Amino acid sequence: MPRRLGALATALAAVVLAVMVFTGDSSAGDRGEALGARLRCPVCQSESVADSTSQTARDIQSLIDEQIAAGSSDGEIIDFFVARYGEWIVLDAPAKGRTLVLWILPVVAAGGGIAVIASRRRRGASAVASEVIEEDRRDLARQVEMGELDDAAASKLLSTYEAETKAPPPQPTSSRGSRVAAGVTVMAVAIGAVGFAVVRSSEARPVGGLLTGGIVDDGPRDLSNVTNEELEAVVAANPEVIPMRLALARRYFNEGDFSAALPHYLAVLEKEADPEALANVGWMVYLNDSPDTAAAYLERSLDAAPDYTQAQWFLANVRLFGLDDPEGAAPLLRQVLATNDVPDEVRQEAESMLAEATAS
Amino acid sequence: MTAAIGYSAVIVALASSIAIVVGSMRRRSGLPAPWLRWAMIGLVTGSLTAMVALQFALISHDFSIAYVADNHARSTPLLFTIASAWAALEGSLVLWGLVLAGYTWWVWTKADRGNPMSLGALAVMGAVASFFFGLLATASNPFAASAITPLDGVGPNPLLENNILMAVHPPLLYMGLVGLTVPFAFAIAALVDGTSGSAWLERTRNTTLVAWGFLTAGITLGALWSYAVLGWGGYWAWDPVENASFLPWLTATAFIHSSIVQRRRGMLAAWNMTLVITTFALTIFGTFLTRSGVIASVHSFTQSAVGPALLVFFTVVTLGSFALLVTRLHVVAGAPRLESLASREGVFLANNLLLTLFAFAVLMGTTYPLLVEAFSSDQVSVGRPFFDRAAVPLSLVLLVAMGLGPVTPYRVATATVTWERLRSPVRIAVAAGLATALLATRHWGAVLVVVLATFVVSSMVRHLWWLARRAAAGSERSVPAAAWRLMRRDSGYWGGQIAHFGVALVAVALTMSTVFAEKAEVSLELGETASFGGYELTYEAPFSRNEANRTVVGAELSLSRHGERLVTLRPSINTYTGRRQSVPSPALRVGLTEDFYVSLTRIDGGGISADLFRNPLMWMLWVGGFVIVGGAAWPLTVGRKEREADAEELVRA
Amino acid sequence: MSRQVLVVTIASVLVGVVVMAMATRFGSDPNAVVSPLVGTPAPALDLPYLEGNGSVDLAAADGEILVVNFWASWCFPCRAEHPVLLDAADRWEDAGVRFVGIVYQDETDTASAFLDEFGRGYEAVTDGGGRAAISFGVFGIPETFLIGRDGNIAGVVRGEIDAEILESALQQLLLADATAD
């Protein structure tokens, strides 16, 4: 009877303890801090606003406290930050939306694991050797001695084990064919994944800032997918915008449509002495058989940008072939040749021109 | 010159690793190639020379090597110079290679040369070493030349240069992570060889314990580093880098438990293979996550070809092993011999389920943002709230299992026997809970953890007492002497119990420091005093000093309690010359009930701003961590002589 | 097929899927978070000048294209991108593009010293309490926001901006205007 009484006392104490704990103060503490713990600090790595000591985290925390004081609900405050930083800032991965699967999978895994363990039973015989039986016999004897099993239970278990050894060895539960097929499947998955990983790893990371937003979605960064007509419309709408006009003029110039390029370049030159505009106008003038005027333009271009290779190259041509001034051309050609990113055909031509200029 | 020697050493180690794979392949004689010994010597010398060369390059300020230029400065103190050898990607892989070479050598010295499983394991170790030295020879060459040789380098990352723990923590972690290659290698060898049974477990038991002990120590010191250096008053942030070492720890812990079931009862053979493969795969996956730049993290290293290489290696390891396992399932999968779920085996199964679920939840949480972004380009975060909600219930149930399991009989546990063994522990636990609720706190989490931790400890103590009294009754020994002899004789079991004791300490410390930690932000002018949690903190004086590698600017703060002066705390903000980055260096007063922790956030002519923390029972966390390590070490302290003497005595009796 | 064979096969396929998902991440920067503000009206903020009296009202910038750059003197990439912004501010001024630099977590005197060293060319304003940075959802500086004539945020550049990106972004903004008419 004292044993029963002891158990009763323990149970009673446990109930008292449970009541004390559930009526106890387990409040979560400061509401602002609790909210801070649910938000990710933007300038940190995997730290919450509440944990972080960074200035940004402090700023956010004080804004949270302000909003609480202004009577905002928890949801409103979280939404406020989500609207600015995106779902990224929510650290506690709610059991809804994108992060629902995160919550479901461990629960499914737990259920599966419990089901597997619960379904484990002694299934038929195993290919146990007689030495295992000897071990079991010793083990059982020890357990009986320890009072863990009574004799009857031990001998019952032992006879089960003995019966198992006498039974024919079981067939493997999986056929050879299915094992091989599974092995081949796994290897195929491996090869596929490795191939995919190798291909994807060759992608370079963008450098020099990362642009996100609607702008990039319109297409590639350059204007190559915009027609000349569209660009004309833009330039007409923004007559003051030099870079746009230059881009359009360059396009005409490269296409050889000098009559279209020239007005735009002249419009640019009205605003400022752009080296590119000066050089290209000079070249167009030269091709129009006015080497003196061309040289003047090109020299102005080099005044504005002394290292501008294209102007050096144009002026060298003008001087050598238009003005018959090999001495004036030679230093320019040397400058051109000293530049690294000169196309090969220009380089070859420049070399032969330099030879010609120095020979004479 | 140093670079040439170092790189040659890497090549020698790589060639030796490949030679080990070839030389360990079974020959007609059943013996390894006669030159295998030389390949072993090559691997160890090569990896050791590579590490020595890297150290020499760092110490001799050889800035013609890019690694040295990026991670070292002339002014870096010697200790941190040595530690810089593993403070960045390439160097840490050199350390990885060195540790792997050490374990391979260990396997070689223990191997019996004609045994196909030992040779197969050596071949697997060689293959893994080939991968890592291959990386060092190509994508991650630590001896690559600088583009230009600077006169001085930028020095190591200030966070890593701020505390001595950085010199110790990574080597310990690697001793753990890399050591887990050994059981994996034996498992694969057993599969290739078609050997059934638990011979591979017997051969790797000690190595697994050593590796697991080091991993535990590494994680504990990592938490201590986070606490002592980062200045946020916490120690565990569920950061991907932390998770990367915690994941293999969880599955390795599951493996240590389930391997006991296989050795004792011949069950769970296929499951053990799966666990050991998963554990090794997770060490590689963790390395991939933290070194590839796919996740931004505190100490992630930058993008290079190393990421793709690690991902490919992970795929080959995991899926290659799975393919092998599935084709050999008929060998390893025995029929289940479970008599009843109410038994030691049943609790072991529950333990494995819980630890595996734990690992699964942590893995999901760590990789989920990447998966979402890969499939939908949306960006989400998973952080502490998710991990805590998964970890807390799992840990509580694990504590229950920890109190039950070790005293539950194998095969069948009858209600009478179980209750007999649990009655006193349950009473003591409830009493401890009542005492906590009446005297200290009624917070449910705190009370529950106290109850469960007391249950775990009293259950093991009662069992030891009971066994020792039985043993003493039949001999002239005293009960304590009998208990000591039991613990030495059954060192595996009692080592486990010591580790459980450590876990109970850690559980209490984690709960208390989470529930009762307090934080305040204060701004003080010179001479001003702030009160916080019963303490008074006075800003006495600023101080500053220039050291070779940094400028230390700090505040002398006197801490007192109820008017009684306790200590002067000197937190500072350290600015490292090369990096132009400031790192707070917190100061703390360690106490029996709580730590007082102060971290400066600002110091200037106008005064200081500081974060103050009261963190209860922090010492218990560190002590608990090392008690767990002690538990892992316990069976290894029982030498052969002691075991033989004991066996003799048994025979005589 | 036995249960174990099936389980191992399914697990392997899952591992394969995870590996492929990871592999898609190599080309992307984990620090580049897409701003939800793109396409929404820019925050209406009235920010005081860094130097001198007066303030800039971002909401009152009607019909102008705004380039809002967050910077600080302690930020190294800000030093590198400052000339790019100065140059662009000068060249695009006539097209009705207005540049505003918001000083982020910095002292007034060090920020002024930065401008002394690297040059002035457009308005610099301060952000007391970091409210502007929070309103724009700034992660880490430098960050540059492009606001169209309609007052909506059109794009965000996280990290050091380069001349080419800025140029093409502004061209596209103008282009969008012109084709909308």
Instruction: List pLDDT tens digits, range B254-264.
Output: 999 999 988 88
**Of A22, A53, A123, A156, which to mutate for an interface test with B (greatest number of B Cβ within 10 Å)?**
A53
- The token pair that represents A109 in the structure block: 């895994």
Q: Which chains touch A (3 or more CB pairs under 8 A)?
A: B, C
Q: What pLDDT score does A43 carry?
A: 82
* Mean pLDDT, residues B35-41: 92
Nearest CA in chain B to A174: B330
User: Given CB atoms, is C25 within the 8 Å cutoff of chain B?
Assistant: yes
- From C96's Cα to the closest Cα of chain A, the distance in A is 9
Facing residue for A59 by CB, picked from C8, C130, C177: C130
What pLDDT band is residue A125 in, cutting at 50, 70 and 90? very low
Nearest CA in chain B to A175: B330
Rg (CA), chain B: 27
Which residues 87-126 of C are in CB contact (within 8 Å) with B?
none
User: Given CB atoms, is A217 within the 8 Å cutoff of chain C?
Assistant: no
Contacts of C77 (CB under 8 A, 6+ apart): C141, C142, C159, C160
Q: Which residues of B touch C (CB under 8 A)?
A: 270, 274, 288, 292-296, 303, 307-308, 311, 314-315, 318-319, 322-323, 325-326, 329, 333, 367, 370-371, 373-375, 377, 379, 580
Cα–Cα distance for residue pair B391/B156, rounded to 1 Å: 35
- From B363's Cα to the closest Cα of chain C, the distance in A is 11
Cα–Cα distance for residue pair B637/B498, rounded to 1 Å: 13
| pLDDT one-digit tens code per residue, C52-68 | 888 888 877 677 888 99
Is 60 exceeded by the pLDDT of residue A23?
A: yes
Contact B411, B339 (CB under 8 A): yes
Nearest CA in chain C to B324: C8
Facing residue for A180 by CB, picked from B239, B327, B349: B327
Q: What pLDDT score does A212 carry?
A: 60
Lowest mean pLDDT across A170-174, B418-422, C18-22: A170-174
What pLDDT band is residue C181 in, cutting at 50, 70 and 90? very low
Q: What pLDDT score does A221 carry?
A: 39
User: Given CB atoms, is C159 within the 8 Å cutoff of chain A?
Assistant: yes
Contact A42, A54 (CB under 8 A): no
Buried residues in A313-328 as b, exposed as e (16+ CB within 10 A): bbbbbbbbebbebbeb
Nearest CA in chain A to C93: A241
* Mean pLDDT, residues B95-115: 90
- The reply to whether residue A47 touches residue B237, judged by beta carbons under 8 angstroms, is yes
Contact B326, C8 (CB under 8 A): yes
Facing residue for B312 by CB, picked from A124, A184, A198: A198
| pLDDT one-digit tens code per residue, B517-542 | 888 889 999 999 999 988 999 999 99
Facing residue for B357 by CB, picked from A23, A109, A180: A109
Strands (E), B120-232: none
Contact B143, B3 (CB under 8 A): yes
Using a CB-CB distance cutoff of 8 angstroms, which residues of chain B are in contact with residue C15? 315, 318-319, 322
Mean per-residue pLDDT of chain A:
80
State the residue for tokens 């790797």. Answer: B204
Nearest CA in chain A to B598: A53
Nearest CA in chain B to C33: B379
Q: What pLDDT score does B300 carry?
A: 40
Under DSSP, the state recorded for B145 is B
**Of B131, B267, B386, B414, which to mutate for an interface test with A (greatest number of A Cβ within 10 Å)?**
B386
- From A344's Cα to the closest Cα of chain B, the distance in A is 28
Contacts of C2 (CB under 8 A, 6+ apart): A172, A173, A174, A178, B329
Q: Which long-range contacts (CB under 8 A, 24 or more apart) does A103-112 make?
A: A105/B360, A105/B364, A106/B357, A106/B360, A106/B361, A106/B364, A106/B390, A109/B357, A109/B360, A110/B353, A110/B357
Facing residue for B444 by CB, picked from A21, A117, A120: A21
Name, of B13-22, C26-35, C54-63, C160-169, the range with top average pLDDT: B13-22
Q: What pLDDT score does A207 carry?
A: 46
Nearest CA in chain B to C18: B371
Q: Which of helix, strand or coil describes residue A207? A: coil
* Mean pLDDT, residues B365-381: 87
User: Given CB atoms, is C1 within the 8 Å cutoff of chain B?
Assistant: no
What pLDDT band is residue A220 in, cutting at 50, 70 and 90? very low
**Of C28, C91, C171, which to mutate for an interface test with A (greatest number of A Cβ within 10 Å)?**
C171
Nearest CA in chain A to C164: A221
* Mean pLDDT, residues B55-62: 93
Nearest CA in chain C to A56: C130
- The reply to whether residue C139 touches residue A85, judged by beta carbons under 8 angstroms, is yes
Number of A:B CB contacts under 8 A?
A: 238
- From A215's Cα to the closest Cα of chain B, the distance in A is 17
* Mean pLDDT, residues A53-81: 89
What pLDDT band is residue B123 in, cutting at 50, 70 and 90? very high
Q: What pLDDT score does B560 carry?
A: 93
* Mean pLDDT, residues B310-322: 94
Q: What pLDDT score does B57 carry?
A: 94
Using a CB-CB distance cutoff of 8 angstroms, which residues of chain A are in contact with residue B308? 197-198, 200-201
CA separation, residue B325 to residues B183, B208, B283, C2 (Å): 15, 21, 19, 14
- The reply to whether residue A88 touches residue B380, judged by beta carbons under 8 angstroms, is yes
User: Given CB atoms, is A55 within the 8 Å cutoff of chain C?
Assistant: yes
What pLDDT band is residue B580 in, cutting at 50, 70 and 90? low
Contacts of A24 (CB under 8 A, 6+ apart): B437, B441, B442, B443, B444, B447
Is 50 exceeded by the pLDDT of residue A25?
A: yes
What pLDDT band is residue A214 in, cutting at 50, 70 and 90? very low
- The reply to whether residue C130 touches residue A55, judged by beta carbons under 8 angstroms, is yes
Lowest mean pLDDT across A17-21, B12-16, B62-66, B240-244: A17-21
Q: What pLDDT score does C45 carry?
A: 84
Q: Which residue has the higher pLDDT, B108 or B604?
A: B108
Contact B422, B459 (CB under 8 A): yes
Rg (CA), chain A: 42
For residue C153, how far is the Cα from the chain centroid? 10
| Edge-to-edge strand list for the sheet holding C97-103 | A210-213, C153-158, C143-147, C65-71, C97-103, C123-126
Q: Which long-range contacts (CB under 8 A, 24 or more apart) does B534-542 make?
A: B534/B561, B534/B562, B535/B559, B535/B560, B535/B561, B535/B566, B535/B596, B535/B614, B536/B560, B536/B561, B536/B563, B537/B569, B537/B598, B537/B612, B539/B607, B539/B608, B540/B568, B542/B603, B542/B608
- From C143's Cα to the closest Cα of chain B, the distance in A is 18
Q: What pLDDT score does B333 carry?
A: 67
Mean per-residue pLDDT of chain B:
89
- From B226's Cα to the closest Cα of chain C, the distance in A is 22
- From B74's Cα to the closest Cα of chain A, the distance in A is 30
Contact B96, B178 (CB under 8 A): yes
- The reply to whether residue B433 touches residue A48, judged by beta carbons under 8 angstroms, is no
Number of residues that make up chain A: 360
Is 50 exceeded by the pLDDT of residue B472?
A: yes
- The reply to whether residue C28 touches residue B370, judged by beta carbons under 8 angstroms, is no
Q: What pLDDT score does B134 carry?
A: 96
- From B489's Cα to the closest Cα of chain C, the distance in A is 38
| pLDDT one-digit tens code per residue, C113-125 | 888 888 888 888 8
Is 50 exceeded by the pLDDT of residue B78?
A: yes
* Mean pLDDT, residues C81-88: 88
CA separation, residue C53 to residues C47, C59, C100 (Å): 11, 19, 16
**Of A74, A100, A157, A186, which to mutate for an interface test with B (greatest number of B Cβ within 10 Å)?**
A186
Q: What pLDDT score does B397 carry?
A: 96
Is 70 exceeded by the pLDDT of residue C151?
A: yes
Q: How many CB atoms lie within 10 A of CB B525?
A: 10
Is 80 exceeded by the pLDDT of residue A45?
A: no
* Mean pLDDT, residues A83-95: 87
Lowest mean pLDDT across B563-577, C50-64, C166-180: C166-180
Using a CB-CB distance cutoff of 8 angstroms, which residues of chain C are in contact with residue A275? none
Is 50 exceeded by the pLDDT of residue B429?
A: yes
Number of A:C CB contacts under 8 A?
A: 204
What pLDDT band is residue B210 in, cutting at 50, 70 and 90? very high
For residue C118, how far is the Cα from the chain centroid? 20
Q: What percentage of chain C exceeds 70 in pLDDT? A: 92
- The reply to whether residue B315 touches residue A197, judged by beta carbons under 8 angstroms, is yes
**Of B196, B315, B400, B470, which to mutate for an interface test with A (greatest number of A Cβ within 10 Å)?**
B315
* Mean pLDDT, residues B84-100: 92
Is 90 exceeded by the pLDDT of residue B403?
A: yes
User: Given CB atoms, is C151 within the 8 Å cutoff of chain A?
Assistant: no
State the residue for tokens 């004036």. Answer: A328
Is 60 exceeded by the pLDDT of residue A206?
A: no
What pLDDT band is residue C1 in, cutting at 50, 70 and 90? low
* Mean pLDDT, residues B97-106: 96
Is 70 exceeded by the pLDDT of residue B467?
A: yes
- From C95's Cα to the closest Cα of chain A, the distance in A is 5
Using a CB-CB distance cutoff of 8 angstroms, which residues of chain A are in contact with residue C149? none
Q: What pLDDT score does C35 carry?
A: 82
- The token pair that represents A307 in the structure block: 């290292």
Cα–Cα distance for residue pair B236/B238, rounded to 1 Å: 6
User: Given CB atoms, is C9 within the 8 Å cutoff of chain B?
Assistant: yes
